[in-house]
Amino acid sequence: MASEEMEQLVRREYKQGFVTDIESDTVPPGLNESTIAFISQKKGEPQWMLEWRLEAYHQWLKMTPPSWAHLDYPPIDYQAISYFSAPKKPEDRPQSLDEVDPKLLETYEKLGIPLHERAALAGVAVDAVFDSVSVTTTFKEKLHEAGVIFCSISEAIREYPELVRQYLGTVVPQADNYFAALNSAVFTDGSFVYVPEGVKCPMELSTYFRINAANTGQFERTLIVCDKQAQVSYLEGCTAPMRDENQLHAAVVELVALDDAYIKYSTVQNWYPGDEDGKGGIYNFVTKRGDCRGDRSRISWTQVETGSAITWKYPSCMLRGKESIGEFYSVAVTNGRQQADTGTKMIHIGEGTRSTIVAKGIAAGRSDQSYRGLVKIGPRAKGARNYTQCDSLLIGDQCGAHTFPYQEIGNSTATVEHEATTSKIADDQLFYCRARGIDEEDAVSMIVNGFCKDVFQELPMEFAVEAEALLNVTLEGSVG
Amino acid sequence: MLEVKDLHVTVEDKAILNGLNLTINAGEVHAIMGPNGAGKSTLSAVIAGKDGYEVTQGTILFEGQDIFEMEIEERARAGLLLGFQYPIEIPGVKNIYLLKAALNAQRAARGEGEIPAPEFMKLVREKSAEMKMDPSFLQRAVNEGFSGGEKKRNEILQMLVLQPKLAMLDEIDSGLDIDAMKVVASGVNSLRSADRAILLVTHYQRLLNHIEPDRVHVLVDGRIVKSGDKELALELEARGYDWVLEESAA
Ligand SMILES: Nc1ncnc2c1ncn2[C@@H]1O[C@H](COP(=O)(O)OP(=O)(O)OP(=O)(O)O)[C@@H](O)[C@H]1O
Ligand SMILES: [Mg+2]
């Protein structure tokens, strides 16, 4: 079909479809221009934003979902998804922890999540339990004093349109890939961070985030900009298991680091993986990209990933600035019937750029995971260096781990090193621990945690502790 | 304390132990010697519960309990310790962490609470000093990058911290320099007491100069073919194993 015809058709639908009651809190399932207009209007967005979304939508219509990842999942019906629903009203949420599934609380307990955070995570109407307002205000004041902007993406579009317009979509263009295009058209949640020149963000943006943004949206959009010599450490997610009616999650995260800026982005994610057969689990298709736009800038991705029925994500770094640095530290754990296809891309463009990749994969049960990494050295990237280390650990003999390293070296002065190992959790290591009196499950978690140490030590302290606990919970019952 | 009766063990259908008998009483130190491949490590591994061995016949009792009814960790908690001929490396896991986890697991099995941190620190510092090990070894990953001799001293350190009833030390002397041999020997001797027992597997009489055994056994082809007192070790050192074989064949 010619694109003109297509557009006409779309426009017609737009007219016909534009009957949705703007006062209502949800739109019926389905995606067309009217849905997008509805979202944009609901969010009080300026015209340019709506146009930007529609542009993305039209691109998306022409695209096909990626099929090359080492994953196996049924086709998703995009017309069966509801693209906007307002947050649940306090009265519809559990009023106290007593109304929350005891199983969920048990997991929080095991993970060592502080009592006052459990309620918020479980979706309890927060002010019914504790006064979060004062905490939030202290954080807000501190950030404000430092000149750091930290708010929801929707608020940023309204309050700081110049900043958003300057940077949105400059790292992950609207039509970058199928899921990014979809996200660009319909995103409703997410965060915006701007750290001005020379400012070191006075706190981890995690603490604040965890209390306030426990409800993750389906199509999140995050944009973090660090101006010259600025620094920020941002933590996304949470070790607590996230249950969600929405099966499909397609987030986009864009990071921009200008000269001498440093962004550290850590993720600890524990999506609901579905039952033993993988039913009801989350499909997690995420585009995360950092742009080291300035000289000597540095972007570091650290992620601990468990859960999700299906994960597809490759946090990557565009190393444009001279001597800029990209880092990727990752632990991925799969159990049951989970599938994960993750990895990273390091694109060396500028002179003297460096990147480090440390990827640890742990597969247990009947799960399957792949590491896919691309190191690309452009013709101008004189003296670029990459070091890649991929280690896989298999627990049991029904799981699989695969590594697909890709290298495109366009410059003879570059140094690229790659090391990869796959080991079964060694029987003699287990025997050694057990012969000292340590029971099998504890021995496994000890060995696995040891295996992940290089990555855990990159995490902010408190999350390193939680990540260890998370690993243990995830691997519970994977032996014996 | 330990009673092995008519033990037959095969590995992948290959017979390794063929009717082995051994009794060790509390308070005793036994040494097992024998040619390479005779089955010495197999014996201690089977007692400790390592997978991959098929016991086709025989019994092993530890303090009157049938050992085959117990999991590996249950045996350890009951007071059995295997010092490995080739200690295993565990990357990323601190030595001190393993020690603490092991000690607390064993204490829990005895109905004792976790050892308080200061008490634990004092204990391991003391014991590593006895082993002439720098405290920095406690912070390193278990056996990773340790020299052969350091690994062996680390095995003895674990033994001193865990205080087993029966320690089976497999070639604890191999790879040790002369001074380290003395350090290890004094560590082992410090464990000697009326209610504990020690089983040494060794190729060299020299270790037995430092740790005097009550009994010496010769293991050949999966069987104990000769037992005696410490004089037997001297004789083996001087004459090798052939004469024992001839004697037992006769
Ligand atoms: N997993 C295994 N698979 C095959 N053969 C094995 C296995 N384990 C042990 N064996 C064999 O069993 C025999 C006894 O081995 P063992 O290690 O017990 O000998 P050893 O007396 O300790 O020898 P050394 O003095 O050299 O340490 C050897 O022939 C060895 O090759
Ligand atoms: Mg041996």
Residues of A in contact with B73 (CB under 8 A): 434-435, 437-440
User: Which of the residue ranges A20-24, A279-283, A367-371 has the most confident prediction, judged by mean pLDDT?
Assistant: A367-371
State pLDDT tens for residues A415-458.
Answer: 998 888 777 776 889 999 999 999 988 898 888 888 888 888 88
Output the pLDDT for position A122. Answer: 60
> Which residues 104-133 of B are in CB contact (within 8 Å) with A?
105-106, 109
DSSP element (H, E) containing A305:
strand A298-306
Cα B85 to ligand 2 centre (Å): 6
Interatomic CA distance for residues B202 and B196, integer angstroms: 19
Which CATH number characterizes residue B192's domain? 3.40.50.300
A436/B76 Cβ within 8 A: yes
- Scanning every residue of chain A, which has its alpha carbon at the shortest distance from the alpha carbon of B141? A450
Find out whether the beta carbon of B42 lies less than 6 Å from any atom of ligand 1: yes
Q: Range with the lowest mean pLDDT among A373-387, A432-446, A448-462, B125-139?
A: A448-462
Residues of A in contact with B141 (CB under 8 A): 450
A426/B72 Cβ within 8 A: no
Q: How many domains does chain B have?
A: 1
Give residue B229's domain range.
2-249
Residues of B in contact with A453 (CB under 8 A): 91-92
**CB contact, 8 Å: B49 with chain A?**
yes
Output the pLDDT for position A269. Answer: 73
Residue A386: pLDDT band (50, 70, 90) is very high
DSSP element (H, E) containing A327:
strand A325-334
A442/B101 Cβ within 8 A: yes
**Is beta strand A339-348 parallel, antiparallel or unpaired with respect to A316-319?**
parallel
Residues of A in contact with B160 (CB under 8 A): none
Q: For residue A311, give the nearest of A353, A271, A347, A253 by alpha carbon.
A: A271
How many CA within 13 A on the CB side of residue A70?
A: 17
Nearest residue (by CA) to ligand 1, atom 28, is: B37
Q: Which ligand does the CA of B203 lie closest to?
A: 1
State pLDDT tens for residues A218-231.
Answer: 788 999 999 999 99
Q: Which ligand does the CA of B85 lie closest to?
A: 2
Q: Is the pLDDT of residue B20 over 90?
A: yes
Q: For residue A365, give the nearest of A451, A425, A305 by alpha carbon.
A: A425
> DSSP readout, B104-150?
HHHHHHTT--PPPHHHHHHHHHHHHHHTT--THHHHSEETTT--HHH
Q: Is the pLDDT of residue A383 over 90?
A: yes
A423 within 8 A of A393, measured Cβ to Cβ: yes
Mean pLDDT of chain B, nearest integer = 92
What is the separation of C-alpha A70 from the centre of its chain, rounded to a whole number of angstroms?
A: 19
Q: Is the pLDDT of residue A124 over 60?
A: no
CB-count burial class (<10 Å; 0-12, 13-18, 19+) for A263: buried
**CB contact, 8 Å: B81 with chain A?**
yes
Output the pLDDT for position A433. Answer: 96
Q: Which has more confidence, A280 or B84?
A: B84
The average pLDDT across A284-293 equals 92
Q: Is A479 helix (H, G, I), strand (E, B) or coil?
A: coil
**Angle of the A427-434 helix axis to the A440-451 helix axis, nearest 10:** 120
Helices (H) and strands (E) in chain B, counts: 10, 12
Going through A135-273 in order, the beta strands assigned E by DSSP cover 149-152, 191-195, 221-226, 231-237, 248-249, 252-257, 262-270
Structure-token pair, residue A404: 């697909």
Output the pLDDT for position A419. Answer: 84
Residue A118: pLDDT band (50, 70, 90) is low
Q: Is the pLDDT of residue B191 over 60?
A: yes
The average pLDDT across A283-308 equals 89
Output the pLDDT for position A215. Answer: 42
State pLDDT tens for residues A304-330.
Answer: 877 666 777 889 999 999 999 999 999
Nearest residue (by CA) to ligand 1, atom 26, is: B36
- Dihedral over Cα of A428, A433, A437, A438: its sign: negative
Q: Which ligand does the CA of B43 lie closest to?
A: 1
Report in angstroms the alpha-carbon separations of A139 from A83, A159, A206.
31, 19, 11
A429/B88 Cβ within 8 A: yes
Output the pLDDT for position A477. Answer: 61
Q: Which has more confidence, A133 or B158?
A: B158
Q: Is the pTM of this model over 0.90?
A: no
Q: For residue A32, give the nearest of A19, A23, A45, A44 by alpha carbon.
A: A19
Instruction: Find the CB nearest B88 among A428, A452, A453.
Output: A428
- Dihedral over Cα of A274, A276, A279, A284: its sign: positive
Residue B216: pLDDT band (50, 70, 90) is very high
B87/A440 Cβ within 8 A: no
**Angle of the A47-61 helix axis to the A33-42 helix axis, nearest 10:** 150
Q: Which atom of ligand 1 is nearest to the CA of B38?
A: 21
Tell me the shortest Cα–Cα distance from B182 to chain A, in angstroms. 24
Q: Is the pLDDT of residue B33 over 90?
A: yes
Output the pLDDT for position A204. Answer: 80
Residues of A in contact with B139 (CB under 8 A): none
